[in-house]
Structure 1
Amino acid sequence: YDALINALNSLILVEEALSDNIPTDLVAIDIRQALHHLGTITGEITTDEVLGSIFSKFCIGK
């Protein structure tokens, strides 16, 4: 849920920056942030927090 909210917030910043004619190289920073958060949702990007959450909920035997 947090990743989705963060992606949305990044995209809102992109929309505002484009409306304000901010240079595209600066807008790209927020686009990359949105892609990072979306990648976390789709599983393309795994963070330590995500892995910690998975391992805390499942018992993995030896």
Structure 2
Amino acid sequence: MPYWAYIAHLLGVADELVPRGAADGLRMAHHMILTAGGPTEWTDGPCAPLTTTTTWA
């Protein structure tokens, strides 16, 4: 996490958004997953061939 915190700092990420440890990072990831929302109407067009025509041999 320290390296990512430094990279985030260099990129100008607000300090309160940078996780300070593994537990903090997991909490933030869990929050992002729960609040991300669903796919947009744009997703159906380009992604449909990837999800409907793929066969697993």
Which has the bigger relative contact order, CA under 8 A and spacing at least 6?
1
Using structure 1 for the length normalisation, give the TM-score. 0.32
Select the structure of larger CA radius of gyration. 2
